Structure 1
Amino acid sequence: MRSASAASRGDATSDLITDSQGPGREALPRIRVHDLRHTHATILLMGGKPVKVVSERLGHADPAITLRVYAHVMPGNQREAADWFAALVESA
């Protein structure tokens, strides 16, 4: 079952899950294919995959686009980079 907005856009894949799966089960939220795209990118980046690789998978023309959109999911990387560099300097 498509939402009214999806039907007006002619987007047949906008809602993947729309109803409960049987008696006694709660309805699942509507999930668009675009939401799965963001989930995919977020999981890859949080798993430490290179931004360039994720950017290519998303079809972004430039990794800077990926960085602008998904920078908020990588805040821990700053601490990790600082700790790594500090250890390198201390061992020198």
Structure 2
Amino acid sequence: MTLPWMLAPAPGREARTRRICANCAHFDAGAKRIEAQFAGFASLASGYASVRGDDGFCDRHERLLGASGRCAEFALRAQRTAA
């Protein structure tokens, strides 16, 4: 029997390479980007709001998506390396 918590990735490299929106090159979870994409959004709330969680804007599909979403257009984001 497999329990849901057993499916969670271990912290580290595995978590950063899962094929989810949060790790995709097309995904931008920056608050400023979300506010820029949706005119008037800042007047209703803020891109920094806690209710937004890790949601972000997908450049490929041009829509706001949850960080845990998935699609066939996934492209792994390049990892930043310490200089």
User: Taking structure 2 as the reference length, what is the TM-score of the superposition?
Assistant: 0.24
Bigger relative CO (Cα 8 Å, ≥ 6 apart): 2
Normalized per residue, which structure has more helix? 1
Normalized per residue, which structure has more strand? 2
User: Taking structure 1 as the reference length, what is the TM-score of the superposition?
Assistant: 0.22
